[in-house]
């Protein structure tokens, strides 16, 4: 029969118990934080909403809506203890660019308005047009794409090409939705790369770091959310000049490799 004869033995016995108690305390606090985050998102939108209604429905005011989104993003993040940092491998010009990022959390869109260094419109899934209150951003300013209906999808891409011709960059999450296994990448769809090559504009790979840990995709008993630092790595633009339809897959793999290499370099599975 074994006995605990030393203080080290007793300490070893109590450490797992202490860790268990701390975990049990942390989980509900994280879920409370998550609730406060989404509550603050709604509350901070209310005083800005009348201005958004005006700005996003008139093209000449789109840049004002964009600036207002930056203010709203700050209001959503700062009070909840989320800070942000952009790491640029090189300074970007005026563009236009295809901004091509991994999608790890609902935070990605919010943080993008505080870290992406150029003016842009989002190309996003058509389901966003069904989100009450938030759908106003995808009626005229941002571009909804319906991948289930090819004619509508081509129409959305035509609108994106028209924006690029006006000098407006386009931001796309080629995974199509938040990756269920973030930070591990889901399959990248081809639309962003077709758009970049067809329009002969540079594509900028972007890696979101840590957002999946700050605000996971789904609440669970183990992790709801927490304050933290969101880091965004903005990689060097990849030129598409001279590329043709034969290079769609090559460009797709190049962007995937850039983002996955960054993730692995930070110690994450990609």
Q: What is the mean pLDDT of the chain?
A: 88
The string of pLDDT tens digits covering residues 198-228 is 999 999 999 999 999 999 987 544 578 999 9
What is the pLDDT at residue 220? 45
Distances 91 to 73, 118, 167, 260 between C-alpha atoms, Å: 23, 10, 17, 22
**Position 19 confidence tier, pLDDT thresholds 50, 70, 90:** low
Q: Would you say residue 150 has pLDDT above 80?
A: no
Q: Name the pTM for this structure.
A: 0.88
Q: Does residue 12 carry a pLDDT above 80?
A: no
Which residues form the domain of 236? 8-265
Give yes or no for a contact between 160 and 123, defined as CB atoms under 8 angstroms apart.
yes
More confident residue, 107 or 145: 107
- CA 88/CA 206 separation, integer angstroms: 9
The answer as to whether 270 is a domain residue is no
pLDDT, mean of residues 175-185 = 92
Write down the pLDDT at residue 149. Answer: 66
Is 2 inside a domain boundary? no
Average pLDDT over residues 29-57: 94
Structural domain count, the chain: 1
Which whole-number Å values give the CA distances from 48 to 56, 64, 71, 88, 134, in the listed order?
12, 12, 9, 30, 12
Q: Could you give the CA distance from residue 68 to residue 174 in angstroms, rounded to a whole number? A: 26
- pLDDT the model gives residue 2: 44
155 — phi, psi (to 5°)? -65, -40
pLDDT at 18: 54
Q: What is the DSSP letter of 181?
A: T
Helix and strand element counts for the chain (H, E): 8, 7
CATH of the domain at 25: 3.40.1130
Position 1 in a domain: no
Q: Within a domain: residue 248?
A: yes
Is 185 part of any domain?
Answer: yes
Task: Work out whether strand 82-88 and strand 228-234 pair parallel, antiparallel, or are unpaired.
Answer: parallel
User: Given pLDDT bands bounded at 50, 70 and 90, which one contains residue 258?
Assistant: very high
Contacts for 211-216: CB closer than 8 Å, 24+ residues apart: 211/104, 211/105, 211/107, 211/108, 211/111, 211/182, 212/104, 212/105, 212/179, 212/182, 212/183, 214/82, 214/105, 214/107, 215/34, 215/37, 215/105, 215/106, 215/107, 216/105, 216/182
Residue 178 pLDDT greater than 50, yes or no? yes
User: Within 13 Å, how many C-alpha atoms sit on residue 103's CB side?
Assistant: 21
Residue 36 lies in a domain: yes
Categorize the per-residue pLDDT at 26 as very low, low, confident or very high, splitting at 50, 70 and 90. Answer: low
Q: Are 200 and 54 in contact (CB under 8 A)?
A: no
In the beta sheet, which residues pair with residue 99? 171, 204
| Distance in angstroms (rounded) separating the CA atoms of residues 61 and 218 | 35
51-84: pLDDT as tens digits: 999 999 999 999 999 999 999 999 999 999 999 9
Look at residue 256 and tell me if it is in a domain: yes
- 179 Cβ neighbours under 8 A, 6+ residues apart: 102, 103, 104, 185, 186, 212, 217
Average pLDDT for 141-166: 87
Residue 240 has pLDDT above 60, yes or no: yes
- The band of 17, judged by pLDDT with boundaries at 50, 70 and 90, is low
Give the whole-angstrom CA distance, residue 50 versus residue 65: 11
Backbone phi, psi, residue 85, to 5°: -150, 130
Burial class of residue 209, CB neighbours in 10 A (0-12, 13-18, 19+): buried
End-to-end CA distance of the chain: 48
Average pLDDT over residues 83-105: 96
3-state secondary structure of 59: helix
Q: Is residue 3 part of a domain?
A: no
């Amino acid at each position: 029969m074994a006995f605990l004869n030393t203080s080290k033995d007793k300490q070893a016995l109590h450490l797992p118990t202490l860790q268990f108690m701390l975990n049990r305390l942390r989980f509900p606090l994280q879920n409370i934080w998550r609730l406060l985050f989404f509550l603050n998102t709604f509350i901070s939108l209310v005083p800005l909403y009348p201005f958004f209604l005006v700005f996003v429905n008139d093209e000449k005011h789109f840049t004002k809506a964009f600036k207002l989104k930056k203010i709203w993003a700050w209001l959503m993040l700062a009070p909840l203890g989320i800070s942000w940092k952009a790491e640029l491998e090189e300074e970007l010009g005026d563009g236009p660019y295809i901004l091509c990022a991994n999608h790890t959390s609902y935070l990605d869109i919010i943080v993008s308005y505080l870290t992406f260094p150029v003016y842009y419109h989002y190309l996003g899934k058509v389901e966003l047009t069904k989100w009450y209150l938030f759908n106003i951003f995808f009626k005229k300013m941002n571009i909804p794409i319906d991948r289930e209906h090819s004619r509508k999808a081509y129409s959305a891409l035509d609108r994106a090409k028209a924006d690029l011709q006006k000098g407006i960059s386009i931001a796309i999450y080629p995974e199509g939705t938040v990756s269920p296994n973030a930070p591990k990448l889901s399959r990248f769809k081809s639309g962003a790369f077709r758009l970049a090559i067809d329009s002969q504009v540079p594509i900028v790979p972007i890696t979101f770091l840590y957002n999946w840990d700050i605000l996971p995709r789904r609440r669970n008993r183990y992790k709801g959310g927490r304050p933290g630092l969101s880091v965004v790595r903005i990689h060097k633009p990849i030129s598409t000049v001279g590329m043709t339809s034969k290079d769609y897959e090559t460009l797709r793999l190049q962007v995937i490799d850039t983002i996955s290499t960054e993730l692995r370099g930070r110690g994450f599975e990609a």
